Amino acid sequence: MLAIISLLLVLVTISISDIRKRRISNVGCFAALIICVWLAASQQRIIEGLINGCSIFLLSLVLFRFRWLGAGDGKLASALAVALPLSQLPLALMLTLMCGGVLAVVYLIKYRVIQRLSRGEDAGLPYGIAISLGFYIPILAFYLGELEGASSTSLFAIAAVNRL
């Protein structure tokens, strides 16, 4: 439970930094990685977790190459993937995309309708928020035992119902 709360605090800090500076620090990603390794070790899933993290890192490199994802976003997603079993990664990615879509609509309204970009602020999307939420929900549920043995489809339904 201490690791889950610690991860929440780290993700809140990362999200605030991403909102303010459009930057996710290496220190924040490293802190998340350490906590996620701790969580994976508690379930004897270190090897699986590291494979998951490396897989997400390779995917994020491709997305970074095309400028679809920031480097910090990729490092954060890779670190968080370590805490999840492979069966939960599709849910985490789906929730990240859904949170990112909601975030994009909010920022579109904020920058296009309200501010009209007149202030010259960076209109980038702080995707660290979406990554934090998208991965934290399945991590929380998995380590609290709610998702043990469930399929990704039923996990998505559980997460959607719990968010209402």
Take residue 157 and report the two structure tokens written for it: 């339904």
pLDDT of residue 35: 97
At residue 158, φ and ψ (nearest 5 deg) are -60, -45
* Angle, alpha carbons 15-143-58 (nearest 5°): 55
Residue in this structure with the two tokens 């469930």, named with its chain if needed: 150
pLDDT of residue 79: 98
Say if residue 55 is exposed, middle or buried (CB neighbours under 10 Å; 0-12, 13-18, 19+): middle
> Is 123 within 8 Å of 111 (Cβ atoms)?
yes
pLDDT of residue 161: 45
Q: Along the 164 residues of the chain, how does pLDDT read in single tens digits?
A: 899 999 999 999 999 999 999 999 999 999 999 999 999 999 999 999 999 999 999 999 999 999 999 999 999 999 999 999 999 999 999 999 999 999 999 988 887 767 665 565 556 789 999 999 999 999 999 998 854 554 444 455 455 545 54
pLDDT of residue 23: 93
> Is 80 within 8 Å of 139 (Cβ atoms)?
yes
pLDDT of residue 76: 98
pLDDT of residue 118: 59
Give the integer Cα–Cα distance in Å for 8 and 52.
20
Take residue 139 and report the two structure tokens written for it: 């991590």
> Is 46 within 8 Å of 37 (Cβ atoms)?
yes
> Is 94 within 8 Å of 160 (Cβ atoms)?
no
pTM equals: 0.81
Instruction: For residue 37, give the H/E element and its range.
Output: helix 26-42
3-state SS class at 1: coil
b/e map 139-157, b = 16+ CB within 10 Å: bebbbeeebeebebeebbe
Q: Where are the domains of the chain?
A: 2-163
pLDDT of residue 144: 86
